[in-house]
Structure 1
């Protein structure tokens, strides 16, 4: 059993420097961006519990193994349907043609894909390219910035604007990028 002070020192020295990379790893491998912080904290908890028995020789490999396993387990749990939801499954089988559901699901998915493509096509060229590199090809901010020869901040700004416009399009809006307009000093009655 590892002493609490030694565990704390190890965690601060070996694990916390991995926080940014770990967050990126979770973002790339999890569909719900709002879950990243909670998942990271869960992973830290599992890392600490495991390291309490014995400190791992390679902290980075250990943290990523714990992260991968946690994401897999979390995904499996998310797919589990409560028994109450399928209590009368026999009645459902008698009354429903499942082939119809499959066809409807395929048509719905195809329609959403078409709408998403329309929304992406509406984006300005640079914004469209950033969205495709990150959301389709899975590149990180840094990789997309290097690929396009722009700053990481530019990539982040384009993602933010593009995703807002794409969400707006998917919700039935115009799908246009809305930029903040800043007034000049003269518009506020302030003299230069």
Structure 2
């Protein structure tokens, strides 16, 4: 027994499978995940349509697919702590009042450094590195070329790194990396 939502889904969403699969193939490298991604898009579309059927189905479904891929890409950027250390070893990173204060000071410094960037460069860095938008999305959002986005990111990140290192932030990371490289040789 079908209801209006089921009928809508069968007649409006399922026929978009070819378009949806082309989009997934173009934008997601892992072909083993394509069927799962398709099913997740279908599930999200069905659930979202419960509150009201969209007027334009194709943009509705493709927006869901785009948002799903963005969510998945962001999750993949998060590295599991277990990849670096056993939980027992994490006591070294216990949040003490001193670490908390130091972290807040470093964050404040980062905000100052970001504010000192030229407006266009700052906007590109924030959209790309803070908001997590792709280079293509930033270019479209700002009405500039992807090459310009890339150049502004390099300029901004270099300026941020220079300013933070000049203030002593991050120097310990560089020392550790150099030590690891020397041990590897």
Name the TM tier (shorter chain).
Answer: 0.3 to 0.5
Question: Normalising by the residue count of structure 1, what TM-score does the alignment of the two structures yield?
Answer: 0.45
Question: Normalising by the residue count of structure 2, what TM-score does the alignment of the two structures yield?
Answer: 0.47
